[in-house]
Chain A
Amino acid sequence: MLRFLRNLFRRKDTVEYLRDAWRAKPSTAVAERLYRRLLGTCSPGAALAFIREAVCTFPHTQRLKELQHQVLRIRSSEEIRSLRAALAVSPRPEMYARLGELYRYLGHFEEALEIAREGTRRYPESSGNYLAIGLVHYSRFLKTSSAHDGHQAEAYLRKAYALDHNNFKTLYYLACLYVHVGAKLMAAQCIEHLSALMPGDSRVADLAQRVRSQADTPPGAAVDYFRLHETRAMDAGSGATGRAGLGGRLKPGKVLDARLAAIASLQGVRGVYVLDQHGKMIAGAGHEDDTARVETAVHGMLEGARINARRMSIGNFSRAALLSKDWQVFLYELESCGLAVLGKRTARQDLVQRKVTEFIEECLCEEQGA
């Protein structure tokens, strides 16, 4: 009896049993069990083949897609090992490109760039390595919206395209990049070439549809789309970590003026100013008469800090302290606006910091109370 039960349960765990169950009645639970069994007993290749079939059956199940990525990562790591070994014996340009592609897939962008750059140094006429570098920057651009990565992605993809006009992948990702940032005219040019290369391709049709749904761009306008995209992303993501959450609802009025005046009354402080995301002054208190000059200067400093913090990959700008022989400026990023405290070197940074924290807390309390 015991043996029968043990056999019964053991059989339920075998690949054959699970395959039969999948054929009889496919479900995500069976798919996951069979995938794990295949991965444990057979090879990643068998697991990958099955999980692809499962994803086709349940295309909207996130869990199955995650499993597919998991096995692809295992396969990629194995392929990296074998490519590294092959590269040491007989290097070829496509090996560098493939390694770059695999590292990119695994999210190891620095390794991907390193190997692809080595490929371009050794084989400057091979387009694959430029494509690999372009795709690393493209992936980073999608993650960080950094204009620097956008420009780099465009430059490298264009270089790859210049070396090989018939590479569908290069042109496709270049089109994706333009579509992503809303560069409609350039995207349309790429899509036209893509349609000639691969008529009737559904991916190209999707891109064309996306371009049609985008707003018209002014003809001939010299617009830095990547910079624009970066600014938009920063505006949209201004509530991210490291920023005080004031909801961008600081309204000018006596209450705000009084709060700023409290900071401005600290020893050595010359002025306190709040600017909205477009650099327009919401309120201010201080001894400076030329508010237009202060507005421009503070906006410039805030913008510089915001953009470069992102470019330097240290996240969202939170605050900054600028010191000269006689002056100091403290900048604070609030959600959708910025606060600047201008002072002489006699102003105490700890007191300013404390007052600004109180200011933020008061505004938050008021907002929650409202």
Chain B
Amino acid sequence: MKRILEELNRTAGIRGSMVMTQDGIMVAAALGPDLEEDVVAALASALLTTVKRSFNQIAAGESLSELVLTASDGKMVFVDLGNAYLVVVAKRDLALAATMVEIQSAAHRIKNRRASTVQRQTVAAR
């Protein structure tokens, strides 16, 4: 999983990426030297909790599949992975339309990897 994140980070404008559970527990991270894993996970979780709660009031219980936050000095992208989220921290000038394909592709690969891991574990348990 970390390799997928590292590959994603090679995309121009991306500062770092991580996979975290909805309650802020880090699963895998490939963040740059200026980003602390625990801090990013905690803050991303806080943001998701606040925004999802409000979003559910409008979207009647639907789960948030994607969140793109743009600020004056950077961007953050959250992509739903089922029971976890892919979090991408990017520079402000990131060309989102082009990069979103890379981010979605990474999310898809992570989802597949997680699914195959679960499948292997189930088979091993049997």
A residues sitting closer than 8 Å to B (CB atoms) are 110, 148, 240-243, 293-294, 296-301, 303-305, 307-309, 311-327, 329, 342
Q: Answer yes or no: B123 CB below 8 A from chain A CBs.
A: no
Q: Mark B20-45, 1 if CB is under 8 A from A, else 0.
A: 00000000000001100000100110
A322 interface neighbour in B34, B53, B64, B76, Cβ under 8 Å: B64
Given contacts A318-B71, A322-B55, A327 and B62 within 8 Å (CB-CB): yes
What is the minimal beta-carbon distance from A349 to any residue of chain B, in angstroms?
10
Task: From A240, A243, A314, A329, give the contact of B76 (CB < 8 A).
Answer: A314
Known A110-B34, A326-B59; contact A304-B54, beta-carbon cutoff 8 A: yes
A-B contact count (CB 8 A): 121
Whether B71 contacts A301 by the Cβ 8 Å rule is: no
CB closest residue in chain A, given B77? A321
Bound form: Cα–Cα A308–B33 in Å: 20
Q: Does B4 contact A (CB under 8 A)?
A: no
Chain B contacts with A in 42-98, Cβ cutoff 8 A:
43-44, 46-47, 50-51, 53-55, 57-59, 62-76, 89, 92
- Known contacts: A293-B57, A296-B57. The answer to whether A324 contacts B63 by CB under 8 A is yes
Name B62's contact: one of A148, A241, A314, A326 (CB within 8 Å). A326
Cα–Cα distance between A96 and B24 once the two chains are bound (Å): 31
Judge whether A320 and B55 touch: CB under 8 Å.
Answer: no
Q: A321 and B72: CB pair below 8 A? A: no
The answer to whether B70 touches A320 (Cβ under 8 A) is yes
Q: Is the CB of A329 within 8 A of B58?
A: yes
Size category of the B interface is 20 to 34
Give the docked Cα–Cα distance between A207 and B61 (Å). Answer: 51
Tell whether A304 pairs with B50 under 8 Å between CB atoms, given A318-B71, A320-B67: yes
Choose one: A294, A304, A312; the contact of B58 (CB below 8 Å). A294
**Are A312 and B57 also in contact (CB < 8 A) when A325-B62, A327-B62 are?**
no
Contact of B57 (CB < 8 Å), options: A148, A297, A320, A322: A297
Contact (Cβ within 8 A) A312 B50? no
Known A-B contacts A241-B72, A312-B43; the reply to A324 vs B54 at CB < 8 A is no
Q: Would B47 and A305 count as touching, CB distance under 8 A?
A: yes
Contact at A322–B73, with CB atoms within 8 Å? no
Q: CB distance B63 to A300 under 8 Å?
A: no
Given that A311-B43, A312-B76 are known contacts, is A301 also in contact with B66, CB under 8 Å in the complex?
A: no
**Bound complex: CA of A117 vs CA of B5, how far in Å?**
27
B66 CB to closest chain A CB (Å) equals 4
